[in-house]
Amino acid sequence: MTQLKLRSPKLFRSLERPSLSRQMMAIGLLITLVFVTVAIFAPLMQSWGWIQDPIESLTNPIHQPPSAEHWFGTSRQGYDIFSRTLFGTQAALQVVILATVLSVLVGVPLGMVSGYLGGRLDRLLVFLMDAVYTLPGLLLSVTLAFVVGRGVINAAIALSIAYVPQYYRVVRNHTVSVKTELFIEAAQAMGASTWVVLSRYLFLNVIQSVPVLFTLNAADAALTLGSLGFLGLGLPDQTPEWGQDLRQALDALPTGIWWTALFPGLALTSLVVGLSLLGEGLNEFVNPLLRREE
């Protein structure tokens, strides 16, 4: 006798077996939260005496491998690598968050105004943004870093300019498609001002992709900041920053001193992977065209 196989409702099946997008989001969010926690508590750990000053040069020992006293070893400059790796998280997140927030604050309003008003302003902004967008992001950031100089704010500005066109293009395209909807035409017929239409009716309908773009740009910004630090264009000297530590560790690698480059490199890679997983998982979760039947 054939037995009927009962299937649980789709909602409960999705809860029993999480989708790939949810798994990616969960792993990426967990990794990101670990780095955020480290960035918050690193100064407290130093004040409690749990870790050493990241910019205090130890006279002895130098180039000590990982041990119970120095978990990640020491560098040629006498720095405790564990302490610098933890504080490097704080520097990376400061620049990354500031750069992405600045690009959102500039790119989203420009995209909404350009797409809604159209005309010469729209054509001019499209031309300028396309010109910036065609430039390689790292090359543009390196050039801007030469101009604005080193520092947290300067590095964030150099990074953010490369991301503004991405937010502009995405938001503008959404605005152009949404502004012809009936509810927008009804608001215009009732005499709603441009500001009211943009803020009340358009804004929430054109920013669906901004969180996804934010996390992916944050991952790219972390990697680009590491590249700037490796080239000596990121933060000031002696600042705990992963790219700068990798540059200082480059000469020690041929002599078998591997730990000076391993731990900053792992930290940078882990943060980039975490933010990338979070962005890709969020993209698949919010974009109905990418959802797959479980």
Q: Each residue of 251-292: pLDDT tens digit?
A: 778 788 888 899 999 999 999 999 999 988 888 776 655 555
Q: Is residue 143 part of a domain?
A: yes
Q: Tell me what pLDDT residue 8 has.
A: 41
Phi, psi of 74 (to 5 degrees): -125, 160
pLDDT at 3 over 50: no
Is-contact 52 46, C-beta < 8 A? yes
Per the structure, the count of domains in the chain is 1
Summarised one tens digit per residue, pLDDT across range 41-97 is: 999 988 888 888 888 776 566 778 888 888 898 888 888 899 999 999 999 999 999
Residue 162 counted as domain residue: yes
Q: Is residue 229 part of a domain?
A: yes
pLDDT at 20: 73
Q: Which domain holds residue 228?
A: 20-58+69-290
Backbone φ/ψ region at 252: left (φ over 0), alpha (ψ -120 to 50), beta: alpha
- Residue 13 is assigned to a structural domain of this protein: no
The answer to whether residue 63 sits within a structural domain is no
Mean pLDDT of 170-199: 88
Q: CA-to-CA distance for 278 and 31, rounded, in angstroms?
A: 9
Separation of alpha carbons 278 and 282, rounded Å: 6
For residue 212, give the nearest of 62, 100, 82 by alpha carbon: 100
* Structure confidence at residue 7 (pLDDT): 44
pLDDT surpasses 60 at 131: yes
Q: Is residue 47 in some structural domain?
A: yes
In a domain, residue 111? The reply is yes
The dihedral built from the CA positions of residue 120, 126, 131 and 132, taken in this order, carries a sign that is positive
Tell whether 32 is covered by a domain. Answer: yes
Name which residue leads in pLDDT, 21 or 167: 167
Whichever domain contains 286, its CATH number is 1.10.3720.10
The SS3 of residue 74 is: strand
User: DSSP assignment of 155-217, as one string?
Assistant: HHHHHHHHHHHHHHHHHHHHHHHHTTSHHHHHHHHTT--HHHIIIIIIHHHH-TTHHHHHHHH
